[in-house]
Amino acid sequence: NYISIMSEYMADNAEKAGLIKILEIKGYPEIVRRPLYFIKLREKELSELKKDFWEYIKKNKKNQ
């Protein structure tokens, strides 16, 4: 699995280390009580379903 969900603490540390970039998603569901951080490996090829999901996340990030 090349798309993952991680905690805010881990995501912040990974971003500070230059390993990932955090994107906020527009219309993030109110029912979710804590932030979710989706990550993927740059060099790994995704299945078509995962590509579609990843593109949806990128198109709907808050800071566009």
What is the per-residue pLDDT for 20? 80
What is the per-residue pLDDT for 32? 60
Residue-wise pLDDT for 23-35, tens only, equals 776 766 665 666 6
Nearest-CA neighbor of 22 among 1, 8, 34?
8
Residue 11: pLDDT above 80? yes
Which stretches does DSSP call E strand in the chain? 3-6, 37-40
Residue 41: pLDDT above 60? yes
- Helix, strand or coil, per DSSP, at residue 45: coil
